[in-house]
Chain A
Amino acid sequence: MYRYDEFDATFVAERVKQFRGQVERRLAGELGEDEFRPLRLQNGLYLQLHAYMLRIAVPYGVLSSKQLRKLAFIARRYDKGFGHFTTRQNIQFNWPELVDVPDILDHLASVEMHAIQTSGNCIRNVTADHFAGVAPDEIEDPRVWAEIIRQWSTLHPEFAFLPRKFKIAVTGASHDRAAVKFHDIGLKMVKNEAGEIGFEVIVGGGMGRTPAIGPTIRGFLPKQHLLSYLEAVLRVYNLLGRRDNLYKARIKILVAATGTQEFARLVEEEWARIKDGALTLPAEEVARIERYFQPPAYEKLPAISTELETAKRGDATFARWLKANTHAHKVDGYSIVTISLKPEGGAPGDASADQMDLIADLADEYSFKELRVTHHQNLVLPNVRKQDLYALWQRLAAVRLANPNVGFLTDIIACPGLDYCNLANARSIPIAQRLSRRFNDFQRLEEIGELRLNISGCINACGHHHAGNIGILGVDKQGEEFYQITLGGSSKDDSSIGKIIGPAFAIDQVADAVENIVNVYLEKRTGQDERFLETFRRVGIDPFKEKVYGNSQARRPAAE
């Protein structure tokens, strides 16, 4: 993974010192909250319902075991012993004191981490495919490019006060695991006819109150021009994006209002002016970054491990976990392991300090000291020898971290919701908890198969509900929490935005509604290999509506 050199280390130290000064000025009353706000936001510090929340950047989801241990330390010392992994591959702490934040940032700097640009109207922490570098379907490692973008966007003087936040995602694989069409800019590595590798540039996707699947504005961008092209997009957006209405300020609104073609023309026009300037990436610089992402020292192993096959036959519980939580690796004899942070009755994405320490130990023992955070709020050990899987599973199972539910209904994405977030209409976590209890039968989950269920506590959609096969959105009806359900969303290659099924549900009705939806799917599907999404697309929303609302009009809330 990327390691700081002396320059990066100096920069982060300077940043912490600067923020320490800003905090001191705030505490001394020299800075008003209005002036302090953008400064703390650009250092990842939010003021929430009960306390400050600190969001720490995990660049493109890559974490070392040493870094994870430091996060565990911070959770213990400055929080209530927990951290919360987010849908943007970051981690949040919900209970730090303002005076402690500079010290926390110092601790982070000691393991080459920071909280820069994890919030505010600037270019946010870049996200990437969580299987980058190990996926068999990869054209090229996107981490190299995510790191190049991270550096370029760090304290970019021109783009610190954009109309709104700006999120960039990169994938180098043919299967999109980074939801690139739901970002302000999505970059997908592609091969052109000449066999060269470059980027397809997708602009103006997003969630929020106006969900949009981003259109492609350039089919192939040569790699060395990546930064000048990004700068052109950002400049056009900075100048033309709306600033009069918070809800219309994202680039997706600009792209839709301008028209994709005209927007692309404006970008190309600006790009033509700066294309061959100082932002052109020299091959040496790319090679320098690439060296950090060299594969670890893999052993030469047979593709099939006899130990694994034996263990699998002898232990059905293990076999179930193996099927759901491990994924094909590009190197023979290795597997990618997802550790589910979605236990029965838990808050999705939460990890305790002890769990973090243990997972860090497992990464040391089994996965070349490296981990990933997924936007599904799970952790990944990217490099596990197949022959070690059984032992690893036993260690995980001993501490209840071996939930075999990755990709299933209870692998729920949920934002913090009204338990923490002051923008929320409704709580998200209790819904996730109820569903995880209701569907806690692994045999049944397997039977239902791949099904993505996402929950957001308000229309800001941090829980990506629009992209859930089943999406649940917290709404407020005369001061009461209600939940609107959408069906048919997807953030994969076949991206789509979920459709609203009908009137919202009271908190006690949600699990039943989901149960009914699942039953319609099971009834209508052509077979087990027709996924929920496919069935939904084939039969449409009506059968679901009928079953969920039936004749019981009485159950509809009066507010509709």
Chain B
Amino acid sequence: MAILKHGALQPNDWLTVADDAALPEGKPAVVSLDRWLKERDTLIGRNTPIGVKLKSDQSPVALKEDLERLALIVLEFPKFTDGRGYSHARTLRQRLGYKGELRASGQVLRDQYLFMDRCGIDSIEIADEAKVDGYLESLGEFSIWYQPAADRRPTVRALRAAKRTEPSGGSAVVRESVAASWAY
């Protein structure tokens, strides 16, 4: 299982730990939400980075108070047709202000990647490393965005406004205004 993050394949430094297994010494570990809620105080006491994995029916709001302490949140997509993770991602990024790494795991197909990226997911697990080019290519398939999301792509509304005021270019202005307007 490789990790695609910020445009490149990266080794997976994180170990996903079963609920009944001991945490590895000195290695970043991902635990389930249940375990996190149960063993929170001990887990916080560890000196190594810790992450939490959410099932698609688990709301990230449960982590509201702990976001600063988490270096990674993993959203599970048990099937690519289960779209709850997209709402979880936007909730984490835009409502709760989570700044750490947000990763999609499970059935993450090439043609879902762009949607994930737009919703604020910044790394994905991919089963077949050979397909990485396809995933990257999918991010560049569109240049027009009809709605604001958790990314910084300028929306078509901003592009139209920029064209009205400044017919040539003006994209820097656009980018900023879009970024400013999503503060929620």
Contacts and interface: CB of A to CB of B under 8 A. Distances in A.
B5 interface: no
Contacts of A239: 59, 84, 87-88
Nearest to A5: B160
Interface in A117-172: 121, 151-163
Given A14-B141, A14-B142, A35 B109 contact: yes
A14 B86 contact: no
A161 B83 contact: yes
Given A121-B81, A156-B147, A157-B115, A7 B160 contact: yes
Interface residues of B, number: 39
Contacts of B114: 157
Interface string B76-92: 00001111101110100
A277 B181 contact: yes
Nearest to B116: A157
B143 A14 contact: yes
Nearest to B149: A157
A230 to B, nearest CB: 10
A158 B155 CA distance: 15
Given A18-B142, A158-B87, A277-B181, A285 B157 contact: yes
Q: Chain A binding site: helix, strand, loop or mixed by DSSP?
A: helix
Contacts of B183: 277
Contacts, number: 107
Interface string B56-81: 00010000000000000000000011
Contacts of B112: 161
Contact of A38 (B81, B87, B95): B81
A153 B147 CA distance: 8
A161 B184 CA distance: 24
A159 B86 CA distance: 8
Contacts of A21: 141
A38 B80 contact: yes
A10 interface: yes
B146 A235 contact: no
Nearest to B156: A7
Interface in B78-136: 80-84, 86-88, 90, 95, 109, 111-112, 114-116, 118-119
B159 interface: yes
A278 B181 contact: yes
A18 B184 CA distance: 32
B41 to A, nearest CB: 29
A70 B159 CA distance: 30
Interface of B: 59, 80-84, 86-88, 90, 95, 109, 111-112, 114-116, 118-119, 141-149, 155-157, 159-161, 178, 181-184
Interface of A: 5, 7-8, 10-11, 14-15, 17-18, 21-22, 35, 38-39, 121, 151-163, 227, 235, 238-239, 243, 273-274, 277-279, 284-285, 288
3 tightest A-B contacts by CB? A161-B83, A157-B118, A11-B144
